[in-house]
Amino acid sequence: MKNRIVKRISVVFIAGILFIGASSFRTDFFEIAKQLEIFTTLFKELNMNYVDETNPAELMDTAIKAMLEDLDPYTNYYNEQDVEAARMNTAGEYQGIGASVRIQKNSFVIVETYKDFPADKAGLKPGDEITEIGGLSVADFTDNASDLLNGAPNSQISLTYLRQGKKLSTTLTRGLVTLKAVPFYELLPDNTGYIVLSRFNENASSETIKALKDLEAKGATKIILDLRGNPGGLLSEAINVSNIFLDKGQLITTTKSVIEKYNREYFTQKEPINTKIPLVVIINGRSASASEIVAGSIQDLDRGVIVGARSFGKGLVQRPKELAYGTQLKLTISRYYTPSGRCIQALNYRERDKDGKAIRTKMEDYNEFKTKNGRSVFDGGGVLPDITLETSEFSAVTNALLANNAIFDFATQYYYSHKLESPQAFKFTEEDYNSFKTYLNKSDFSYQTRTEKDLEEALFTAEEEGFSADILDNYKQTLAEIKIAKKADLDIKKAEITTLLTDEIIKRYFFQEGLYQHYILENPEIAEAQEILNNTTRYQGILK
């Protein structure tokens, strides 16, 4: 009942306080003042006269968040706790248990534990479902898990959790958790330096420079920079990381907005570390924001070869705006563009389909741009690699497996039924893959493609409009054929699915470090990057 009331409030609220500040003066000031007065009066009357007792703070929090949902997923309201959590993420360290969690209805599922931090030392494992924290039931809480799991340094916390259906408990001591921007780097046998950059926090460029210099001192003559799964972070660090390989004064990205003061060009500000060393950057569909700025600038300026799959396409720029009482609005103010002029953003939140989902740019609407050397590159959202690999791409069935946590849950089951001695020795076999398909059958895994959805809607409309049985049967036959084809997708997309299964399983035994140790021996993207770097003719041919 409360949510329905708040939704109605938020409609008024949207008109009243959308873009207060510089942008508000683009509209009629009287209209803004009028809507604010309406909302204030409504909010006061609601809280004073509603049949049941209300919680004004909770109502307002819900109203604000409901309003922002109509814009884009990156424009968000942060209460005081949210602001602190964002600060910790940017700083790269926080006081907590050293684990990432997924919030479910009645539990917090451990997604990953960080080696040698409190959760790991207490014996928690990915897949464990935390049901009680400090004696309090998780089912009674709806806010961010960090509000309960994070806390004062050296404070103790008791947890009750389920593991494979068995109820267990533990007590751990919170501590300082440091998240490295560069969690792994190593010199490969062919003198290729391999650097993993996992986040753009305050230490991203300094840690990358340290890794590069160390690798060069050990004999590295070429570099692989791995940005797969990197969700982005600080714009300033994206500029600085690009600057490591690009001369001072190079344009890295441009931001454009209808608000003049947010139209800016960002150039490298420092002397580079190495502008000559051959470079390959690896990206995938989970490389976003700052990762795309680095990959886009390296590609547009022909400084290195991009390998993998098209990046996420998160090209909306946010800026925090301080509000009252320690709260904050993270507001989308502009869009990112690469040096050649390509827009990184993939989804258009101003145009939505009938289900309210943002429209993705169609391939026929892509625009052509030119790199420094005159190579053709295209927009359409994200950065399209120079060399695309099947193992890096996420198809419809793969995305459905991820969304349903099928890969995660199978890895949990695998962990408790298999033993592994080292990440280097692991190989996901044909038998393992058949076991995965059996697991999916038992779990009733299913998903709907966009084509199926459109056909089902068309079939419904055709029936409503009284089309003949033959036409309706054609629709039904096509839907049946699609369902058969979807079953084959598990085999057709085996390579990309196997890669994700391998990653998830190895992390269970050997953490992120073990995964990277496996990568340098078995990963097809790294193997392709090495082949390109070791073939000067091919490397230069791609860039020219």
How far apart (Å, rounded) are the C-alpha atoms in residues 227 and 294?
A: 9
How far out from the chain centre does Cα 82 lie?
18
How far apart (Å, rounded) are the C-alpha atoms in residues 6 and 373?
A: 55
Q: For residue 387, what are the contacts with CB-CB under 8 A and spacing of at least 6?
A: 305, 306, 307, 308, 528, 532, 542
Closest CA to 303 of 226, 248, 247: 247
How far apart (Å, rounded) are the C-alpha atoms in residues 534 and 525?
A: 14
Evaluate whether 117 touches 99 at the Cβ level (below 8 Å): yes
3-class SS at 136? strand
Q: For residue 495, what are the contacts with CB-CB under 8 A and spacing of at least 6?
A: 390, 391
How far apart (Å, rounded) are the C-alpha atoms in residues 334 and 319?
A: 9
How far apart (Å, rounded) are the C-alpha atoms in residues 182 and 21?
A: 38
Q: Which two tokens stand for residue 446?
A: 């299913």
Burial label, 181 (beta-carbon count in 10 A; 0-12, 13-18, 19+): buried
3-class SS at 104? coil
Q: Which two tokens stand for residue 151?
A: 């806390």
Residue 513: phi and psi, rounded to 5, are -60, -40
| Site of tokens 């393992």 | 432
Q: What is the dihedral of CA 380, 289, 113, 399, to 10 degrees?
A: -10
Residues designated as active site: 289, 300, 314
